[in-house]
Chain A
């Protein structure tokens, strides 16, 4: 990092965090240092789920800190602490051992995820997997509306994640390391989900979340000079408390089943062992190679739920008790970096990844897609597998000491199994880049790549021949081409520029452009994007620092389709725009004694979906818009070398327009879209979980003790 940049960073961090910069505290035979902060918080808005989407910001006390304890020789240490101690988004950590030799470590992080504090539901039994309705089965739409609205009660939508990790590492020599860790991710709460009972009706409901992921990892590593080798084993177990979710149907009078059930995400396991090695070869010029081989197995053998929960249906036996799911991923990757001439560097890479699926493929002769009735029809499950390969070669030539030109070419290949529309697909990507510097005050990086995707014959009926063996389907209308497999061309331009025009000024400018075109068939036709970012820090005086940044983001996609047997064509243009910017000022009123900072942040996003064409319902969707802006200010006062006081204030404004949820009540009768009633007759249940706008004032006063 450049010297003046480091100075700016130091000043900014000293202002923002009251950086510790004093001698340790000797507490008898041990050394002690760190910081502790505690204070009080006032908040004017604690009701919006969006305000606390991933955090717990409420009125009351708060605290945090980090403490390091060392033995007299400073060879052994114990570090522990936490942030937002006692709150629902707290973080705790500890680490102890001998510096550079061995340590044990652990951490625990609480992550709230709030969807809505204003959701409503008529269902009961929300902590389990059998949801019931507290009213007699409605007999028509009128009684349905009255019953559901009358029974609707608040249902907080959100779940908490507890993420805990413990581990240890040991370096028997300076060249080697042994490491092992265990991580536990536990989720508990509710999230919004849906289920349908046929075209007659569907319901939105709060689905209980209660699951746990166990992860274990072990590493052996050895490296010396320019040779290294590492062995890693990783295992993961996912355990879901629930196998299925069953819901009573509030509108069975419309023709659906009285009960419906969806399968929950099944328990599963994964293991992966990998070997990585890198070395500098004994040549007269620099020649480095690195390689990784990894092999694993993913298993899923949870027993199937019944074909249907409709008590009046009597399906036959299932073809198997479970899937016996078995996927064996394989990865091999090799990288060579060679400098045959002082000004020429060549990099070659080859990577193959195989998703080898050994899961059973089962034939079902009965289905019940909505639990309403039994359909005697043959459906064949399939176990998709694929292999991807990538090979690339690029050469970088240093034209002058300040300028480097790079030419590259990459080839990608997808080989897919027989149920996919395109079984073999190639991509070819030539690329050119230029890196140049103007003395010590500017650097520029620009790159252009052109990618051509070319797949073999597109067989649109391939998935259906596998799913429905023996069934002859007519060609699809319209003949949509799936964008992940259809032929296309893509142009990409990257730009990054950094200016150090003055000792006290840094400017970074970045830009990216991509243009992707598919053939003008049905489906996604084009995908274009452009973004530009600007970031600058300026220190006009040793006591003043200014920073400003702004990013503009634009994405546009075009798609083409047709309805009514492919005769009524329509087109949609998607456009997403984002503006993000901030300005900050830091002023050291009294250097290292009194510092004032203030700033303003804003993000504004807009998503448009415009549709035109022959069908009568080819009309625009309302825009999705959101705005977040926040002015901030803080005053930091250092009382002495140990004690500082910090006063902070932040105002947050957030508003969002999302036509798909804003005006939804719990029924059609209580729901509108942009002020208009829902046009299609339905007996659906919603959650009334539109995003809650908010204005929040957050003020804190705290004391920091450093030692």
Chain B
């Protein structure tokens, strides 16, 4: 596909899309908190009524909740829905109160269940407010397709983590609940500073990056939930010195950093997938030095092997750099 065709197609589609979005009518799917399952006569009772019982059932609930951002945003007239307080998320509570309470009584929205129906209801509740922006690609995204609920990763009623109301103390540990292999590779000898510490930050942690430094778990335009428009653009956010463009390019570099690197961690220096010189030798041949296997005591096997001469492996801007040596 030529670039001009791509540009015209993209422009036409974007215009058509914007027009169709601007002409929308109210959606066919009901909001979860107002689903057909709601008791027809349930009305809002007010947050104070909720807390009068639930503080007795769970002492300390109010104090913990009062330190969360939801307690602030749902307690003011930020919107008609937000002003409902507890009932903005859990639904109108009059039937629940009249029945004397109890789990699920009065068709309250519960956030501790994970059947497919409950997941849809939970996510629909959260998306009443948290739609758009970072959640534009939630529907059809990897986590939504896997029936992951918002409360699989987030806890609303207290600050377990420092930020973002995560289910565990750190983001890395939250993601590691399911993504075991990526978590284990963070402990490889070549890694980026993601390791969470045993005791906050005073003793052993790195904690300078988190999974969301590169990934957007709520859904994105890019594979593997990468934040930016491509894997490379994501890496170049911090590693801007590799962006170029360079006079002499190393062709696989501007295509995909993951051609050579494992972003989560590796046994090999510089997070490479294979040992140098073997990594280079999977692609390169010249009737000459490149494809000799090299004894480990050879000067072209020790150290950084091929990179001792071909130092500018990400690209060179030097007039004599066609072989990436300058």
Beta-carbon contact of A364 and B319 below 8 Å:
yes
Beta-carbon contact of B1 and A353 below 8 Å:
no
Chain B, interface residues (CB within 8 Å), range: 35 or more
Q: Which residues of B contact A390 (CB under 8 A)?
A: 223
Q: Which residues of B contact A680 (CB under 8 A)?
A: 297-300
A-contacting 9-mer, from B35-43, B91-99, B288-296: B288-296
Would A379 and B322 be within 8 Å (CB), given that A74-B75, A561-B291 are in contact? yes
Q: Which residues of A contact B244 (CB under 8 A)?
A: 266, 268, 298, 300, 325, 327
Beta-carbon contact of B317 and A332 below 8 Å:
no
Q: Which residues of A contact B298 (CB under 8 A)?
A: 617, 678-680
> B320 touches which one: A307, A533, A632 (CB < 8 A)?
A307
Would A288 and B28 be within 8 Å (CB), given that A91-B201, A352-B1, A420-B251 are in contact? no
Decide if A570 is an interface residue (CB 8 Å cutoff): yes
Decide if A449 is an interface residue (CB 8 Å cutoff): no
- CB proximity of A231 to chain B, nearest CB, Å: 11
Beta-carbon contact of B205 and A628 below 8 Å:
no
Beta-carbon contact of A263 and B318 below 8 Å:
yes
- CB proximity of B210 to chain A, nearest CB, Å: 12
Q: Which residues of B contact A101 (CB under 8 A)?
A: 78
Cα–Cα, bound, A272→B307 (Å)? 33
Consensus secondary structure, chain B interface: loop
Q: Which residues of B contact A398 (CB under 8 A)?
A: 116
Q: Mark B60-98, 1 if CB is under 8 A from A, else 0.
A: 100110110100110110110010000000000000000
Decide if A490 is an interface residue (CB 8 Å cutoff): no
B-contacting 9-mer, from A116-124, A126-134, A150-158, A573-581: A573-581
Beta-carbon contact of B17 and A1 below 8 Å:
no
Beta-carbon contact of A10 and B325 below 8 Å:
no
> B285 touches which one: A561, A578, A628 (CB < 8 A)?
A561
- CB proximity of A42 to chain B, nearest CB, Å: 11
Cα–Cα, bound, A467→B200 (Å)? 54
Q: Which residues of B contact A632 (CB under 8 A)?
A: 198-199
- Of all chain B residues, the one with the shortest Cβ separation from A74 is B72
Decide if A705 is an interface residue (CB 8 Å cutoff): no
Q: Give residues 110-168 of B contacting A (CB, 8 Å).
A: 111-117, 129, 131-133, 136-137, 139-140, 145-147, 149, 151-152, 155, 158-160, 162, 167-168
Cα–Cα, bound, A480→B280 (Å)? 11
Beta-carbon contact of A611 and B308 below 8 Å:
no
Beta-carbon contact of B112 and A2 below 8 Å:
yes
- Of all chain A residues, the one with the shortest Cβ separation from B199 is A648
Cα–Cα, bound, A684→B237 (Å)? 35
Would A445 and B146 be within 8 Å (CB), given that A41-B202, A75-B76, A607-B275 are in contact? yes
Chain A interface residue count, CB cutoff 8 Å, equals 248
Beta-carbon contact of B229 and A272 below 8 Å:
yes
Q: Which residues of B contact A268 (CB under 8 A)?
A: 240, 243-245
Decide if B255 is an interface residue (CB 8 Å cutoff): yes
Q: Which residues of A contact B152 (CB under 8 A)?
A: 1
- CB proximity of B248 to chain A, nearest CB, Å: 6
Cα–Cα, bound, A277→B20 (Å)? 10
Cα–Cα, bound, A292→B21 (Å)? 13
Beta-carbon contact of A679 and B297 below 8 Å:
yes
Q: Which residues of A contact B242 (CB under 8 A)?
A: 265
Cα–Cα, bound, A95→B78 (Å)? 19
Decide if A168 is an interface residue (CB 8 Å cutoff): no
- Of all chain B residues, the one with the shortest Cβ separation from A207 is B311
Cα–Cα, bound, A229→B249 (Å)? 37
Interface-central residue, A353, A369, A565, A668, by most chain B CB under 10 Å? A369
> B269 touches which one: A262, A437, A622, A658 (CB < 8 A)?
A658
Q: Which residues of A contact B51 (CB under 8 A)?
A: none
Beta-carbon contact of B139 and A362 below 8 Å:
no
Would A288 and B140 be within 8 Å (CB), given that A57-B204, A64-B200, A437-B115 are in contact? yes
Decide if A141 is an interface residue (CB 8 Å cutoff): no
> A304 touches which one: B3, B176, B240, B247 (CB < 8 A)?
B247
